[in-house]
A and B are shown apart, each in its own frame.
Chain A
Amino acid sequence: SYELTQPPSVSVALGQTARITCGGNNIEGKNVHWYQQEPGQAPILVIFRDSKRPSGIPERFSGSNSRNTATLTISSAQAGDEADYYCQVWDGRNVIFGGGTKLTVL
């Protein structure tokens, strides 16, 4: 079955750029979507179809997808960006989530 690999944690200094990766075999052939989840809260969609931002999501959030790695980039990271981030794809009829990455803003 298809697997997505995310780093368990990423740290970024306040105001700097954070990059969270999502690895999968030939992932560039899939639509990759990203969710932000704060503790005790529901997930929120922050990027869909690799690089599209839903309305209400700041331009600081961007995405890319190439070969075997999709990347969520958060520029000018703020304290409020501290959360868990999950990538998601489909494998046939099944939905696959990455293991999640905890973003810490220092």
Chain B
Amino acid sequence: EVQVVESGGGLVQPGGSLRLSCAASGFIFSSYSMTWVRQAPGKGLEWVANIKQDGNEKSYVDSVKGRFTISRDNTKNLLYLQMSSLRAEDTAVYFCARLQWLLPGGYFDSWGQGTPVIVSS
């Protein structure tokens, strides 16, 4: 069974840092691009970042560029999101998802339950 499980969320002060993790199982992790998507309280889904299979190609939404870093460890089947200079507007549930690549654009076929991040003093 394909499964992704996020962890690492919590309460952090503005300007602080946090690292989220996503543990993958049930599929060949190194064969798939992965993504982070977030959802602020009462709001819609917002894509955050993608990373290709080998970790060499990454893309980010403009609002997190320079502050967030997506990475992966294919030996441990882990996806990460390092978040720094956190702002109140980064408060959200962060979902990890597997990307099924498709031209001209892929879709997310397996999602975790999410991990909440609260940025507040």
- Does A10 make an interface contact (CB < 8 A)? no
On whether A35 and B45 interact (CB within 8 A), knowing A43-B95, A94-B59, the answer reads: yes
For residue A96, which residues in chain B have a CB less than 8 angstroms away from its CB? 47
- Does B28 make an interface contact (CB < 8 A)? no
Which of A15-23, A71-79, A82-90 sits within the interface? A82-90
For residue A100, which residues in chain B have a CB less than 8 angstroms away from its CB? 44-45
For residue A86, which residues in chain B have a CB less than 8 angstroms away from its CB? 44-45
Question: In chain B, residues 43-59, which have Cβ atoms closer than 8 Å to a Cβ of chain A?
Answer: 44-47, 50, 59
Q: Compute how far the CA of A49 lies from the CA of B113 in the bound complex, rounded to whole angstroms.
A: 24
For residue A99, which residues in chain B have a CB less than 8 angstroms away from its CB? 44
CB pair A94–B47 under 8 Å, yes or no, is: yes
Size category, A interface: 20 to 34
A22: shortest Cβ distance to chain B, in Å?
12
Give A residues with C-beta under 8 Å from B: 29-31, 33, 35, 37, 41-45, 48-49, 54, 84, 86, 88-90, 93-100
Q: List 14 A-B contacts (CB under 8 A).
A: A31-B104, A42-B114, A43-B37, A45-B108, A48-B107, A48-B109, A84-B44, A89-B105, A94-B61, A95-B105, A97-B37, A97-B46, A98-B44, A100-B44
A31-B107, A96-B47, A99-B44 are known; give 9 further A-B pairs, CB within 8 A.
A30-B105, A35-B108, A42-B113, A48-B100, A49-B107, A86-B44, A86-B45, A88-B107, A88-B108
